[in-house]
Amino acid sequence: MQFGESIPDNLENQWRYQLNRFVTENKKTLAALAWGLKNEWEEKKDVLGIDLQPEPHFIRCSRQSLEELNRNVEGKIQEILGIFDNYNEQEEVALIVINKGQIKLIYYQSDPFPPVCFDEKQSSLDSLIEELENTMKSIEWY
């Protein structure tokens, strides 16, 4: 039994390992961004996403596009849609990450809560996006 983190042997899972490290190291900033964007967006069912191709950048996913994706993959992301429908944005962060035909859900309870993270950062949304995208661009995604 192995404890701790180790880089997976297969390339298909290495990006997930790197993503988990990125999220762990940037939880508060991600929470601040997610909170700020959710409050700025008129359509509250839209979801924050990260597209890793061709280079990492944030995207806004409409509920309609996620439902269409779910239909295209024969309902295989229905549970993810349920999380987006029911998570508490005051306390939790939920976003979707896309890479080479694969998706990954990022979902965690933020400590401190997202509104506090946003207030503590005292940065504009554009600055938060730039900071996180620059960090992601410095990672070699497999």
Minimum mean pLDDT range among 1-5, 31-35, 81-85, 137-141: 1-5
Domain ranges of the chain: 11-137
Burial status of residue 98 (CB atoms within 10 A of its CB: 0-12, 13-18, 19 or more): middle
Mean pLDDT computed over 93-103? 94
Give the pLDDT confidence score for residue 99 in this predicted structure: 93
Beta bridge partners of 60: 48
Whether 98 and 52 have beta carbons less than 8 Å apart is answered as: yes
Are 35 and 89 in contact by the 8 Å Cβ rule? The answer is: yes
- Of 58, 130, 55, the closest CA to residue 121 belongs to 130
Chain mean pLDDT for the chain: 92
- Predicted confidence at residue 1, as pLDDT, reads 41
Q: Which two tokens stand for residue 76?
A: 């295989």
49 in helix, strand or coil? strand
Instruction: Say what the pLDDT of residue 118 is.
Output: 97
